[in-house]
Structure 1
Amino acid sequence: MLDIHAVAVVFSVYVVGVVIPGPNFVAVAHKAASTNTADALAMVAGIVVVNLFWATCSILGVGIVFATFPWIALAVKLAGAAYLIWFGGRLIVKAGGTSTARVDEGGPTVWQSFRAGIATNIANPKSMAFFAAVFAAAAPAHVNPPTFLAMLATVAVVSSTWYALVAVFFATPRVAARYRHWKKGIDRVCGSVIVALGIRQLVR
């Protein structure tokens, strides 16, 4: 039988967690404003896939795995921090570019954007910490298959809706035009924020 109360608790916790800006938000906003809607939504799809992976691990007990094998948590933490520093640094370096042209809609980079969404989220310390701690605490220790699938559907719908709204908003012509006008400064700020998140992950 479907445990509606458990699903409702997961929904209330996850909504708050997903809307708090982090590397995923920055990556989607940047992709939407600098390329096109299709690429941004492809990145969203990659992020959602990883969210479903983390949610599945969380419900099945990833916190127990990390507690039993702390070296796994450390390896994930270091890899995630390294990727964030690389990604942010790359954004800062490329901010000095002179090109302000936007990639044509339906370009050949959709698959690359999907993979970038996966890489960004799998290395996202905010996601890992949230699902390993907060989400795991909200989900019951043992759930039946219908409740398990309902929880995953909740994660998919909420994350898809939120990040798709972010993508569509930042891909609108007016917002994208403002981004291109202030591209150098915005990219440097976004890159600095991501690098800071990576460094913070290393020293915590």
Structure 2
Amino acid sequence: MIDWAAIATVFSVYAVGVVIPGPNFVAVAHKAASTSHREALAMVGGVVVVNLFWASCAILGIGIVFATFPWIALAVKVTGAAYLIWFGGRLLVKAGSAGTAVMQQEKSSCLQSFRAGFATNIANPKSMAFYAAVFASAAPKHVSLPTFIGMIATVAVVASLWYGFVAVVFATPSVAARYRRGKAWIDRICGSVIVALGIRQLVR
């Protein structure tokens, strides 16, 4: 039997949490404005896959591993912070360079975008903490398979709709044109935000 109350709780908490800007939002918005909607949606795919992974871990109680072996959590935290600092630093270094050319091999480009979305999200251990908090308050002690599927489906739909919306909006010609006009400053702002998020993750 499906526990609709648990699914509704997951939806209400997750929907609020996912729209709060973070590394995923910045990465998807920048990708959409600087390349194409296909590459941005490919990045969204990577973000959603990791969201489903963290949600599944939280429901199955795998987060207990972090509590039992804190050095694993520390390793993930440091690695994730280093990746975010590297990612943001690369934007800062390349800020103001010539407009991004469309890649000749779109299939390869989309695969790279998917990997970037995956890496950006998997590098953030706070995602695990967020999901652990959401599902700790929402999931019943013994989750039935239908309820598990319902919770995972809720995460998939909400994440896909929100980040897909961000990708489509920032890839529109008018927004992309504004990006090209202010590319140097936008890249510096995006890079600075991501570096700051990485440093914050490292010191907290």
Structure 1-normalised TM-score?
Answer: 0.94
Q: Which runs of 5+ in 2 are unaligned?
A: none
**2:41 maps to amino acid:** L
Q: What residue is the counterpart of 1:89 in the other structure?
A: 89
Check the 8 A contact 2:86/2:195 in 1, yes or no: yes
Q: What residue is the counterpart of 1:53 in the other structure?
A: 53
- Residue 150 and residue 117 in structure 1: after superposition, are their counterparts in 2 closer, same or farther (change >3 A)? same
Per the TM alignment, residue 83 of structure 1 is displaced from its structure 2 partner at its CA by: 0.5
Could you tell me the percent identity over the aligned residues? 75
Query: Quick one: distance in 1 between partners of 2:173 and 2:165?
Result: 15
Q: Which runs of 5+ in 1 are unaligned?
A: none
Query: Quick one: distance in 2 between partners of 1:30 and 1:42?
Result: 13
Per the TM alignment, residue 26 of structure 1 is displaced from its structure 2 partner at its CA by: 0.3
Give a deviation string over 1:64-97, Cα, whole Å, max 9, x none: 2211111111111111101000000011111131
Query: Quick one: distance in 2 between partners of 1:101 and 1:66?
Result: 40
**1:144 maps to amino acid:** S
Check the 8 A contact 1:34/1:102 in 2, yes or no: no
Check the 8 A contact 1:55/1:152 in 2, yes or no: yes
**1:152 maps to amino acid:** I
Check the 8 A contact 1:40/1:113 in 2, yes or no: yes
- RMSD of aligned Cα (Å): 1.5
- Residue 102 and residue 170 in structure 1: after superposition, are their counterparts in 2 closer, same or farther (change >3 A)? farther
Query: Quick one: distance in 2 between partners of 1:197 and 1:101?
Result: 25
Q: What residue is the counterpart of 2:99 in the other structure?
A: 100
Query: Quick one: distance in 1 between partners of 2:159 and 2:104?
Result: 23
Give a deviation string over 1:40-73, Cα, whole Å, max 9, x none: 0000000000000000001111332211111111
SS at match of 1:140: coil
SS at match of 1:62: coil
- Residue 184 and residue 100 in structure 1: after superposition, are their counterparts in 2 closer, same or farther (change >3 A)? same
Per the TM alignment, residue 135 of structure 1 is displaced from its structure 2 partner at its CA by: 3.8
Q: What residue is the counterpart of 2:118 in the other structure?
A: 118
Query: Quick one: distance in 2 between partners of 1:104 and 1:173?
Result: 18
Per the TM alignment, residue 138 of structure 1 is displaced from its structure 2 partner at its CA by: 2.8
Please give the residue correspondences for 1:1-204 in structure 2 after superposition, counting only pairs within 5 Å.
1-97=1-97, 99-103=98-102, 107-108=106-107, 109-204=109-204
- Residue 16 and residue 37 in structure 1: after superposition, are their counterparts in 2 closer, same or farther (change >3 A)? same
- Residue 199 and residue 177 in structure 1: after superposition, are their counterparts in 2 closer, same or farther (change >3 A)? same
Per the TM alignment, residue 127 of structure 1 is displaced from its structure 2 partner at its CA by: 2.0
Aligned length: 203
Per the TM alignment, residue 28 of structure 1 is displaced from its structure 2 partner at its CA by: 0.3
Check the 8 A contact 1:29/1:166 in 2, yes or no: yes
Per the TM alignment, residue 16 of structure 1 is displaced from its structure 2 partner at its CA by: 0.6
Check the 8 A contact 2:95/2:184 in 1, yes or no: yes
